[in-house]
Protein backbone atom coordinates (compact mmCIF):
# COMPACT_ATOMS: atom_id res chain seq x y z
CA UNK A 1 0.00 0.00 0.00
CA UNK A 2 1.65 3.18 -1.18
CA UNK A 3 1.71 6.26 1.02
CA UNK A 4 1.73 8.44 -2.09
CA UNK A 5 -1.61 8.28 -3.90
CA UNK A 6 -1.71 10.59 -6.92
CA UNK A 7 -4.93 11.27 -8.81
CA UNK A 8 -4.92 10.57 -12.54
CA UNK A 9 -6.93 12.54 -15.09
CA UNK A 10 -9.34 9.57 -15.16
CA UNK A 11 -9.85 9.85 -11.39
CA UNK A 12 -10.53 13.57 -11.68
CA UNK A 13 -12.92 12.97 -14.57
CA UNK A 14 -14.87 10.47 -12.43
CA UNK A 15 -15.20 13.00 -9.61
CA UNK A 16 -16.45 15.69 -12.03
CA UNK A 17 -18.84 13.16 -13.59
CA UNK A 18 -20.24 12.28 -10.16
CA UNK A 19 -20.74 15.96 -9.28
CA UNK A 20 -22.56 16.58 -12.57
CA UNK A 21 -24.77 13.49 -12.21
CA UNK A 22 -25.89 14.71 -8.79
CA UNK A 23 -27.41 17.79 -10.49
CA UNK A 24 -29.34 15.79 -13.12
CA UNK A 25 -32.87 14.47 -12.93
CA UNK A 26 -33.64 10.81 -13.61
CA UNK A 27 -34.47 11.27 -17.32
CA UNK A 28 -31.23 13.17 -17.94
CA UNK A 29 -29.23 10.43 -16.25
CA UNK A 30 -30.87 7.86 -18.50
CA UNK A 31 -30.04 9.95 -21.56
CA UNK A 32 -26.42 10.78 -20.84
CA UNK A 33 -25.12 8.26 -18.30
CA UNK A 34 -23.07 5.24 -19.31
CA UNK A 35 -22.08 2.60 -16.73
CA UNK A 36 -22.74 5.03 -13.85
CA UNK A 37 -20.45 7.67 -15.36
CA UNK A 38 -20.84 10.41 -17.93
CA UNK A 39 -18.73 9.98 -21.08
CA UNK A 40 -15.54 12.03 -21.32
CA UNK A 41 -16.99 13.92 -24.27
CA UNK A 42 -19.92 15.21 -22.18
CA UNK A 43 -20.07 19.01 -21.94
CA UNK A 44 -21.90 20.46 -18.90
CA UNK A 45 -23.67 23.35 -20.62
CA UNK A 46 -26.61 25.58 -19.74
CA UNK A 47 -28.98 23.48 -21.87
CA UNK A 48 -28.73 20.74 -19.26
CA UNK A 49 -27.91 22.62 -16.05
CA UNK A 50 -29.74 25.73 -14.91
CA UNK A 51 -26.84 26.34 -12.52
CA UNK A 52 -24.02 25.52 -14.94
CA UNK A 53 -21.67 28.25 -13.68
CA UNK A 54 -22.38 27.34 -10.07
CA UNK A 55 -21.55 23.69 -10.83
CA UNK A 56 -18.26 24.61 -12.53
CA UNK A 57 -17.36 26.97 -9.70
CA UNK A 58 -18.08 24.29 -7.09
CA UNK A 59 -15.87 21.79 -8.93
CA UNK A 60 -13.06 24.37 -9.10
CA UNK A 61 -13.42 25.00 -5.36
CA UNK A 62 -13.41 21.27 -4.68
CA UNK A 63 -9.94 20.94 -6.20
CA UNK A 64 -8.62 24.17 -4.73
CA UNK A 65 -8.39 26.14 -7.98
CA UNK A 66 -8.21 29.91 -7.71
CA UNK A 67 -9.99 30.56 -11.03
CA UNK A 68 -13.41 29.23 -12.13
CA UNK A 69 -13.43 26.42 -14.69
CA UNK A 70 -14.28 27.58 -18.23
CA UNK A 71 -17.64 26.75 -19.75
CA UNK A 72 -17.98 24.80 -22.98
CA UNK A 73 -15.31 22.19 -22.14
CA UNK A 74 -15.81 18.43 -22.02
CA UNK A 75 -15.25 16.41 -18.85
CA UNK A 76 -11.97 15.11 -20.28
CA UNK A 77 -10.81 18.66 -21.00
CA UNK A 78 -11.85 19.88 -17.54
CA UNK A 79 -10.02 16.97 -15.90
CA UNK A 80 -6.88 17.78 -17.90
CA UNK A 81 -7.06 21.43 -16.78
CA UNK A 82 -7.39 20.40 -13.13
CA UNK A 83 -4.54 17.89 -13.42
CA UNK A 84 -2.32 20.55 -14.99
CA UNK A 85 -3.05 22.86 -12.04
CA UNK A 86 -2.65 20.26 -9.29
CA UNK A 87 -0.37 17.56 -10.66
CA UNK A 88 -2.89 15.06 -9.31
CA UNK A 89 -2.09 16.10 -5.74
CA UNK A 90 -4.15 19.18 -4.82
CA UNK A 91 -3.11 20.81 -1.58
CA UNK A 92 -6.70 20.63 -0.34
CA UNK A 93 -9.96 19.03 -1.41
CA UNK A 94 -13.27 20.58 -0.45
CA UNK A 95 -16.41 18.49 0.03
CA UNK A 96 -19.90 19.92 0.32
CA UNK A 97 -22.52 18.81 2.81
CA UNK A 98 -25.99 20.24 3.53
CA UNK A 99 -26.21 22.45 6.58
CA UNK A 100 -29.15 23.44 8.74
CA UNK A 101 -30.39 25.85 6.09
CA UNK A 102 -30.13 23.33 3.24
CA UNK A 103 -27.41 25.38 1.57
CA UNK A 104 -24.27 23.32 0.79
CA UNK A 105 -21.58 23.84 3.42
CA UNK A 106 -17.94 23.52 2.38
CA UNK A 107 -15.67 21.27 4.43
CA UNK A 108 -12.00 21.45 3.41
CA UNK A 109 -9.53 18.62 3.98
CA UNK A 110 -5.79 18.50 3.42
CA UNK A 111 -5.01 16.04 0.66
CA UNK A 112 -2.25 14.36 2.63
CA UNK A 113 -4.68 13.89 5.54
CA UNK A 114 -7.10 12.05 3.24
CA UNK A 115 -4.17 9.98 2.04
CA UNK A 116 -3.13 9.28 5.64
CA UNK A 117 -6.65 8.16 6.52
CA UNK A 118 -7.18 5.78 3.64
CA UNK A 119 -3.76 4.16 4.06
CA UNK A 120 -4.75 3.50 7.67
CA UNK A 121 -8.14 2.07 6.69
CA UNK A 122 -6.67 0.03 3.83
CA UNK A 123 -5.04 -2.29 6.38
CA UNK A 124 -8.54 -3.54 7.25
CA UNK A 125 -9.14 -4.70 3.67
CA UNK A 126 -5.76 -6.02 2.58
CA UNK A 127 -7.21 -9.28 1.17
CA UNK A 128 -9.87 -7.73 -1.08
CA UNK A 129 -9.76 -8.33 -4.83
CA UNK A 130 -12.24 -5.75 -6.17
CA UNK A 131 -14.28 -2.78 -4.92
CA UNK A 132 -17.92 -2.29 -5.90
CA UNK A 133 -19.07 1.23 -5.03
CA UNK A 134 -22.63 2.53 -4.80
CA UNK A 135 -21.41 5.88 -3.44
CA UNK A 136 -21.00 9.21 -5.33
CA UNK A 137 -17.29 9.95 -5.88
CA UNK A 138 -17.55 13.71 -5.23
CA UNK A 139 -18.57 13.14 -1.59
CA UNK A 140 -15.81 12.51 0.96
CA UNK A 141 -16.97 8.95 1.70
CA UNK A 142 -17.11 8.03 -1.97
CA UNK A 143 -13.82 9.76 -2.70
CA UNK A 144 -12.00 7.93 0.07
CA UNK A 145 -13.41 4.47 -0.57
CA UNK A 146 -13.93 4.40 -4.34
CA UNK A 147 -11.11 6.66 -5.57
CA UNK A 148 -8.27 6.49 -3.03
CA UNK A 149 -8.84 3.03 -1.53
CA UNK A 150 -8.52 1.17 -4.87
CA UNK A 151 -5.18 2.96 -5.34
CA UNK A 152 -3.98 2.03 -1.85
CA UNK A 153 -4.97 -1.62 -2.35
CA UNK A 154 -4.03 -1.68 -6.05
CA UNK A 155 -7.28 -3.36 -7.01
CA UNK A 156 -9.98 -2.42 -9.57
CA UNK A 157 -13.20 -0.58 -8.76
CA UNK A 158 -16.64 -0.68 -10.39
CA UNK A 159 -19.40 1.90 -9.91
CA UNK A 160 -22.87 0.36 -9.68
CA UNK A 161 -26.25 2.18 -9.76
CA UNK A 162 -27.88 2.62 -6.33
CA UNK A 163 -30.92 0.60 -7.43
CA UNK A 164 -29.89 -2.95 -6.57
CA UNK A 165 -31.66 -6.03 -7.88
CA UNK A 166 -31.09 -9.79 -7.70
CA UNK A 167 -28.89 -9.73 -10.81
CA UNK A 168 -26.50 -7.28 -9.13
CA UNK A 169 -26.04 -9.61 -6.16
CA UNK A 170 -25.44 -12.51 -8.57
CA UNK A 171 -22.62 -10.50 -10.20
CA UNK A 172 -20.75 -10.17 -6.89
CA UNK A 173 -17.70 -12.39 -6.49
CA UNK A 174 -15.65 -13.81 -3.64
CA UNK A 175 -13.17 -11.19 -2.49
CA UNK A 176 -15.42 -8.21 -3.32
CA UNK A 177 -15.66 -5.17 -1.03
CA UNK A 178 -19.05 -3.44 -1.27
CA UNK A 179 -19.09 0.29 -0.46
CA UNK A 180 -22.59 1.53 0.35
CA UNK A 181 -24.70 3.51 2.85
CA UNK A 182 -27.53 2.51 5.21
CA UNK A 183 -30.42 3.14 2.80
CA UNK A 184 -28.73 1.02 0.12
CA UNK A 185 -27.93 -1.77 2.58
CA UNK A 186 -31.61 -1.81 3.58
CA UNK A 187 -32.53 -2.26 -0.09
CA UNK A 188 -30.09 -5.18 -0.39
CA UNK A 189 -31.56 -6.66 2.80
CA UNK A 190 -35.08 -6.57 1.35
CA UNK A 191 -33.96 -8.49 -1.74
CA UNK A 192 -33.29 -11.55 0.45
CA UNK A 193 -30.62 -12.69 -2.03
CA UNK A 194 -27.69 -14.73 -0.76
CA UNK A 195 -24.23 -13.19 -1.09
CA UNK A 196 -21.31 -15.19 -2.47
CA UNK A 197 -18.83 -16.33 0.15
CA UNK A 198 -16.06 -13.98 1.32
CA UNK A 199 -17.80 -10.68 0.49
CA UNK A 200 -17.15 -7.72 2.81
CA UNK A 201 -19.24 -4.58 3.20
CA UNK A 202 -18.61 -1.02 4.38
CA UNK A 203 -21.26 1.41 5.58
CA UNK A 204 -21.05 5.06 6.63
CA UNK A 205 -22.80 8.48 6.40
CA UNK A 206 -25.20 7.57 9.23
CA UNK A 207 -26.22 4.76 11.60
CA UNK A 208 -27.03 1.43 9.97
CA UNK A 209 -29.66 -0.52 11.96
CA UNK A 210 -28.06 -3.49 13.78
CA UNK A 211 -30.89 -5.75 12.57
CA UNK A 212 -30.08 -4.84 8.96
CA UNK A 213 -26.45 -5.81 9.45
CA UNK A 214 -27.47 -9.02 11.21
CA UNK A 215 -29.87 -9.96 8.40
CA UNK A 216 -27.25 -9.24 5.73
CA UNK A 217 -24.78 -11.53 7.52
CA UNK A 218 -27.49 -14.20 7.70
CA UNK A 219 -27.74 -13.84 3.92
CA UNK A 220 -24.03 -14.58 3.60
CA UNK A 221 -22.24 -11.23 3.96
CA UNK A 222 -18.97 -12.21 5.63
CA UNK A 223 -18.22 -8.94 7.40
CA UNK A 224 -19.65 -5.44 7.69
CA UNK A 225 -17.38 -2.58 8.67
CA UNK A 226 -19.06 0.54 10.01
CA UNK A 227 -17.01 3.73 9.64
CA UNK A 228 -17.86 6.63 11.94
CA UNK A 229 -16.98 10.17 10.82
CA UNK A 230 -18.22 13.30 9.08
CA UNK A 231 -17.51 15.55 6.11
CA UNK A 232 -15.54 17.85 8.41
CA UNK A 233 -13.36 15.17 10.00
CA UNK A 234 -13.28 12.30 7.55
CA UNK A 235 -13.22 8.84 9.13
CA UNK A 236 -12.68 8.75 12.89
CA UNK A 237 -13.18 5.12 13.88
CA UNK A 238 -14.42 1.71 12.74
CA UNK A 239 -15.99 -1.48 14.03
CA UNK A 240 -16.84 -4.87 12.49
CA UNK A 241 -19.83 -5.76 14.70
CA UNK A 242 -22.76 -3.49 15.74
CA UNK A 243 -22.44 -4.55 19.38
CA UNK A 244 -18.77 -3.56 19.50
CA UNK A 245 -17.33 -0.17 20.30
CA UNK A 246 -15.60 1.81 17.56
CA UNK A 247 -11.80 1.88 17.48
CA UNK A 248 -10.12 5.22 16.83
CA UNK A 249 -7.89 5.39 13.77
CA UNK A 250 -4.26 5.89 14.70
CA UNK A 251 -4.05 9.61 13.87
CA UNK A 252 -6.87 10.47 16.32
CA UNK A 253 -6.77 10.68 20.11
CA UNK A 254 -9.35 11.37 22.81
CA UNK A 255 -9.55 14.99 23.97
CA UNK A 256 -12.80 14.94 25.97
CA UNK A 257 -16.20 13.25 26.04
CA UNK A 258 -17.16 14.66 22.63
CA UNK A 259 -13.82 16.09 21.51
CA UNK A 260 -10.97 14.44 19.61
CA UNK A 261 -7.64 15.67 18.31
CA UNK A 262 -6.08 14.84 14.97
CA UNK A 263 -2.37 14.63 14.30
CA UNK A 264 -2.03 15.39 10.60
CA UNK A 265 0.49 13.85 8.26
CA UNK A 266 2.60 17.03 8.55
CA UNK A 267 2.66 16.78 12.37
CA UNK A 268 0.22 19.62 13.03
CA UNK A 269 -2.66 19.06 15.45
CA UNK A 270 -6.30 20.13 15.28
CA UNK A 271 -9.10 19.79 17.84
CA UNK A 272 -12.65 18.84 16.78
CA UNK A 273 -15.84 18.91 18.84
CA UNK A 274 -18.25 16.28 17.53
CA UNK A 275 -22.03 16.52 17.17
CA UNK A 276 -22.35 13.28 19.15
CA UNK A 277 -21.64 12.64 22.79
CA UNK A 278 -19.31 9.65 23.11
CA UNK A 279 -19.04 6.90 25.69
CA UNK A 280 -15.38 5.91 26.12
CA UNK A 281 -13.74 2.66 27.14
CA UNK A 282 -10.09 3.45 27.68
CA UNK A 283 -8.65 6.00 25.27
CA UNK A 284 -9.21 4.41 21.85
CA UNK A 285 -12.61 2.69 22.03
CA UNK A 286 -15.86 4.67 21.96
CA UNK A 287 -19.54 4.52 21.20
CA UNK A 288 -21.79 7.42 20.10
CA UNK A 289 -24.57 7.60 22.68
CA UNK A 290 -26.52 10.78 21.92
CA UNK A 291 -26.45 13.40 19.24
CA UNK A 292 -25.76 16.85 20.69
CA UNK A 293 -28.60 19.27 20.00
CA UNK A 294 -27.44 21.87 17.52
CA UNK A 295 -28.96 25.32 17.84
CA UNK A 296 -30.01 27.59 14.98
CA UNK A 297 -30.99 31.23 15.36
CA UNK A 298 -34.53 32.45 14.79
CA UNK A 299 -34.94 36.19 15.31
CA UNK A 300 -31.61 36.29 17.12
CA UNK A 301 -32.72 33.57 19.59
CA UNK A 302 -31.15 30.10 19.79
CA UNK A 303 -33.69 27.33 19.13
CA UNK A 304 -33.19 23.58 18.82
CA UNK A 305 -34.88 21.83 15.87
CA UNK A 306 -34.48 18.46 17.63
CA UNK A 307 -36.65 19.68 20.52
CA UNK A 308 -39.35 20.87 18.10
CA UNK A 309 -39.27 17.47 16.35
CA UNK A 310 -39.89 15.71 19.67
CA UNK A 311 -42.94 17.89 20.37
CA UNK A 312 -44.41 17.23 16.90
CA UNK A 313 -43.72 13.49 17.13
CA UNK A 314 -45.86 13.35 20.26
CA UNK A 315 -48.96 13.73 18.04
CA UNK A 316 -50.36 10.23 17.35
CA UNK A 317 -50.88 10.98 13.65
CA UNK A 318 -47.19 11.84 13.07
CA UNK A 319 -44.99 8.90 12.06
CA UNK A 320 -41.84 10.88 11.25
CA UNK A 321 -40.86 14.51 11.03
CA UNK A 322 -37.89 16.74 10.32
CA UNK A 323 -37.46 20.36 11.34
CA UNK A 324 -34.94 22.82 9.98
CA UNK A 325 -34.32 26.51 9.45
CA UNK A 326 -35.86 28.13 6.39
CA UNK A 327 -33.59 29.19 3.57
CA UNK A 328 -33.09 32.96 3.32
CA UNK A 329 -35.44 33.12 0.32
CA UNK A 330 -38.18 31.36 2.35
CA UNK A 331 -38.10 33.40 5.52
CA UNK A 332 -36.47 33.45 8.94
CA UNK A 333 -38.40 30.80 10.87
CA UNK A 334 -38.37 27.03 11.27
CA UNK A 335 -40.17 24.73 8.85
CA UNK A 336 -41.36 21.16 9.38
CA UNK A 337 -41.78 18.15 7.10
CA UNK A 338 -44.37 15.70 8.38
CA UNK A 339 -44.89 12.04 7.42
CA UNK A 340 -48.46 11.27 8.58
CA UNK A 341 -49.33 7.96 10.24
CA UNK A 342 -53.01 8.13 9.40
CA UNK A 343 -55.42 9.04 6.63
CA UNK A 344 -56.15 12.42 8.19
CA UNK A 345 -56.21 15.23 5.67
CA UNK A 346 -52.99 17.25 5.65
CA UNK A 347 -54.84 20.50 6.29
CA UNK A 348 -56.59 19.02 9.33
CA UNK A 349 -53.35 17.57 10.70
CA UNK A 350 -51.57 20.88 10.20
CA UNK A 351 -54.32 22.66 12.16
CA UNK A 352 -53.94 20.16 15.02
CA UNK A 353 -50.15 20.52 15.04
CA UNK A 354 -50.36 24.31 15.13
CA UNK A 355 -52.74 24.00 18.09
CA UNK A 356 -50.46 21.44 19.74
CA UNK A 357 -47.45 23.77 19.81
CA UNK A 358 -49.30 26.83 21.14
CA UNK A 359 -48.51 26.03 24.78
CA UNK A 360 -45.52 23.73 24.25
CA UNK A 361 -43.20 25.90 22.14
CA UNK A 362 -42.03 29.49 22.29
CA UNK A 363 -42.84 31.95 19.54
CA UNK A 364 -39.41 31.44 17.96
CA UNK A 365 -39.69 27.63 18.09
CA UNK A 366 -43.05 27.34 16.32
CA UNK A 367 -42.67 26.25 12.65
CA UNK A 368 -43.86 28.84 10.19
CA UNK A 369 -44.43 26.29 7.43
CA UNK A 370 -45.54 22.65 7.29
CA UNK A 371 -44.93 20.25 4.41
CA UNK A 372 -46.33 16.72 4.13
CA UNK A 373 -45.31 13.60 2.26
CA UNK A 374 -45.19 9.78 2.39
CA UNK A 375 -41.51 9.77 3.47
CA UNK A 376 -38.85 12.21 4.59
CA UNK A 377 -36.97 13.80 1.65
CA UNK A 378 -33.57 12.14 1.29
CA UNK A 379 -30.60 12.33 -1.07
CA UNK A 380 -29.29 9.45 -3.18
CA UNK A 381 -27.17 8.49 -0.15
CA UNK A 382 -30.11 8.39 2.23
CA UNK A 383 -29.30 11.64 4.02
CA UNK A 384 -32.04 14.15 4.80
CA UNK A 385 -32.52 16.75 2.06
CA UNK A 386 -33.93 20.21 2.26
CA UNK A 387 -37.46 20.62 0.89
Range of weakest confidence among 127-141, 286-300, 301-315, 364-378 = 286-300
**Its pTM surpasses 0.85:** no
Query: Do 283 and 258 fall within a single domain?
Result: yes
Residue 212 falls within a domain, yes or no? yes
Classify residue 378: in a domain, yes or no: no
CATH number at residue 131: 3.40.50.12780
- pLDDT at position 293 is 61
Whether residue 382 lies inside any domain: the answer is no
**Lowest mean pLDDT segment, chosen from 5-14, 34-43, 103-112, 114-123:** 103-112
The string of pLDDT tens digits covering residues 289-310 is: 866 567 787 876 778 898 899 9
Q: Are residues 133 and 215 in the same domain?
A: yes
User: Do residues 35 and 185 make contact, with C-beta atoms less than 8 angstroms apart?
Assistant: no
The answer to whether residue 387 sits within a structural domain is no
Is residue 141 over pLDDT 60? yes
Range(s) of the domain holding residue 339 = 296-372
What is the total count of domains within the chain? Answer: 3
Tell me, yes or no, whether 383 lies in a domain.
Answer: no
Same domain, 156 and 41: no
For residues 40 and 105, membership in a common domain is answered with no
Contacts by 56-62, CB closer than 8 A, 24 or more apart:
58/19, 58/96, 58/104, 59/16, 59/19, 61/94, 61/106, 62/15, 62/19, 62/93, 62/94, 62/95, 62/96, 62/138
| Nearest-angstrom CA–CA distance, 350 and 318 | 10
Q: Is 6 left (phi over 0), alpha (psi -120 to 50) or beta?
A: beta
Nearest-CA neighbor of 355 among 342, 370, 372? 370
Amino acid sequence: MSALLTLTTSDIEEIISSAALAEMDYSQKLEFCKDQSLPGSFIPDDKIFQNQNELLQRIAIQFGLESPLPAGRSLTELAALIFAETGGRPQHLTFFTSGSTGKPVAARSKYHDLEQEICSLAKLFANRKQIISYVPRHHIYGFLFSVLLPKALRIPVEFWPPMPGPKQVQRMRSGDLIIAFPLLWKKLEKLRCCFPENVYGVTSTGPCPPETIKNLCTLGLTRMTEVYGSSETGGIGYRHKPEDMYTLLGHWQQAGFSAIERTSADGSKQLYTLQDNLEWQGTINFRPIKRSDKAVQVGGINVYPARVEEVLKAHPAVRECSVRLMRPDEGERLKAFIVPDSKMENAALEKELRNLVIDKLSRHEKPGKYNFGPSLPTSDMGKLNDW
